[in-house]
């Protein structure tokens, strides 16, 4: 798994794989997934791992992905606060 400083130094986008289909998203782009999708973002499992956070069948990540992931996983340190 990449850490936040690696991300800042090397990439300006997220590699998103939804049900085996690759796409690229911006670092601050809002992400919306169907709760039944299988999703990874930069190799980090999002669905089905966080399926319990879906509302009305949709998982909506409405903040930068790494800020969201830091909050929901309770892991790691960030170089700058989210918010």
Q: What is the pLDDT along the chain (83 residues), one digit of tens a residue?
A: 566 666 555 567 899 999 999 999 998 899 999 999 999 999 999 999 999 999 999 999 999 998 899 889 887 666 666 66
Domain count, the chain: 1
* Residue 83 domain flag: no
* Residue 62 domain flag: yes
* Residue 81 domain flag: no
* Residue 82 domain flag: no
This prediction has a pTM of 0.78
CA distance 59 to 6: 26
- Domain that residue 27 falls in: 4-73
What's the 3-state SS for 59-83?
Answer: EEECCCHHHHHHHHHCCCCCCCCCC
**What's the pLDDT score for residue 66?**
86
* Residue 42 domain flag: yes
* Residue 20 domain flag: yes
**What's the pLDDT score for residue 71?**
86
- Backbone φ and ψ for 73, nearest 5 degrees, come out as -90, -20
CA distance 71 to 81: 11
* Residue 79 domain flag: no
Judge contact between 68 and 75, C-beta under 8 A: no
* Residue 16 domain flag: yes
């Amino acid at each position: 798994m990449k850490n936040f400083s690696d991300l800042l130094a090397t990439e300006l986008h997220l590699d998103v794989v939804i049900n085996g289909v690759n796409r690229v998203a911006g670092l601050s782009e809002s992400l919306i997934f169907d709760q039944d999708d299988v999703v990874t973002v930069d190799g980090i499992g999002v669905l089905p791992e966080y399926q319990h956070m879906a509302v009305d069948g949709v998982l909506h990540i409405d903040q930068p992905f790494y800020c969201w992931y830091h909050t929901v996983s309770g892991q790691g340190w960030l170089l700058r606060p989210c918010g």
